Structure 1
């Protein structure tokens, strides 16, 4: 591929988050895309006319003449088994499968249906460029975050996951999860400190810090701090191995040198904080319906 072809892909709308309707491609091209999947068994799963193909590759890689391939993932309408009471899994926690809503239709992506497809074959496909669409920025970000988290999520002790994540955040109707979702524009990330960071300990000392947008108001910072403290106090009072040191200050480890603030802005968190704490992957709470 020459540089002009790479630039032409960008100029013609092939960018990260680009939507290529499957019915805009010949059947032979769709079969070739299926053959480009990493898992042999998945190559037999056909792409049907109602499917969409989403571009995962970054714009700079699409335009780079040294990058000969482009990553595509199929988005299909969820089957009946993926729906409960006629509602899809909108806030999926499954790193192998993602559900999202686009133009009043729900779609499903699976990691095993990613194809690494030659750029030159995009040109050879005779694609009508006018049929291309683009995911809205929030959905594009959701798709890429879902993909990245498969590799970048930090492991946390099973006990913490069982008590805080599965047993609390993911319980249906939990107000803490709803709060994080409602304020996804102000709450950028959740960071966790756990000691000891091993499996099988009888007791874990834990602190949680919400990283807030620098643009959020002082009133929201106070509200968020009080709200999170209420939940930490509740969890601390329960019969479980987690000791929340922001509630029980006498239990702060001598070696703890990270922030103990329950909320902090980017200016207030240090690089040391982000090194010794782990980012809690709760992105699904920040994904809009």
Structure 2
């Protein structure tokens, strides 16, 4: 349906309700009726927002658009609830929109008929806002998708990384968050990758950089990863970063796997992506 695209509906777009809407307006019933059955009666009002989840190809070819309802959080402490901002809780995600924090819950996902949404926009009941930043949109989508398809690292490695992150390594993960518009993702090669409690894990960690990352920052990111790997290895000797130890010990590295600390999009191949698993905070699920 081209009309709905013409008014600005895209994945990641924020939709606001008009303050003049009455609580009895039928539009709210449309939102509630589009949810999973058990939660269809949960309230929705003008202080809420909607985030579009559907992709453009789905919007143009299907009758319904999938959205998730956000409710304004009161007295939200970002430091104490960082796990909600980092999409580590699959039941709830919190995103900052403007000056306010909004909470999104899995049971607040709804499907709304395109004609209903288009009519609401044309009549001024709903206003189309801005699109959330690319890294926030990715986090929103990961929050939904990774509940079903995430592939955790081997257990012993995963636990060590979680312990490191919540302890002395917190600085590194804060650094990643501060530069999330420049760092697409961290990629990790690990061997063995199917043994949950191996005596040793040989690893390579590289940052996949966005096109917005300047060369000087690329060098800084490399230095930070090297510092992190040195510190991580010292705390957990069974973790052997090949970039630091320079010891292969008979391991045959795939041709696509590089020891570089950073890669640009042009340098990072599909083959490299296959061997170097993407790391994100959702993997740390303990």
Q: Equivalent residue for 1:180?
A: 176
Alignment of 1:14 onto 2:9: yes
CA distance in 1, matches of 2:180, 2:14: 25
Number of residues of Structure 1 aligned to a counterpart in Structure 2: 274
Offset at residue 34 of structure 1 (A): 1.7
Matches within 5 A, 1:188-207: 188-198=184-194, 199-207=196-204
TM-score by length of 1: 0.80
Of 88-97 and 188-197, more deviation after overlay is shown by 88-97
Alignment of 1:233 onto 2:230: yes
Of 128-137 and 20-29, more deviation after overlay is shown by 20-29
- Structure 1 residues 57, 129: closer, same or farther in 2, change over 3 A? farther
C-alpha distance after superposition, 1:84-129 (max 9, x if no partner): 7897754443233211121311101112211122223335658634
Alignment of 1:107 onto 2:106: no
> Alignment RMSD, CA only?
3.1
CA distance in 2, matches of 1:93, 1:20: 26
Of 206-215 and 121-130, more deviation after overlay is shown by 121-130
CA distance in 1, matches of 2:240, 2:246: 10
Q: Equivalent residue for 2:217?
A: 220
Structure 1: segments with no counterpart, 5+ residues: 1-5, 285-289
Structure 2: segments with no counterpart, 5+ residues: none
CA distance in 2, matches of 1:208, 1:140: 24
CA distance in 1, matches of 2:85, 2:74: 14
TM-score by length of 2: 0.81
Alignment of 1:54 onto 2:44: no
Of 90-99 and 212-221, more deviation after overlay is shown by 212-221
CA distance in 2, matches of 1:32, 1:172: 49
- Structure 1 residues 194, 7: closer, same or farther in 2, change over 3 A? same
2:18–2:127 Cα contact (<8 Å) kept: no
1:245–1:252 Cα contact (<8 Å) kept: no
Matches within 5 A, 1:73-222: 73-78=68-73, 83=77, 89-123=84-118, 128-129=123-124, 131-138=126-133, 139-164=136-161, 166-171=162-167, 174-198=170-194, 199-214=196-211, 216-222=213-219
Of 84-93 and 128-137, more deviation after overlay is shown by 84-93
- Structure 1 residues 231, 253: closer, same or farther in 2, change over 3 A? farther
Q: Equivalent residue for 2:260?
A: 261
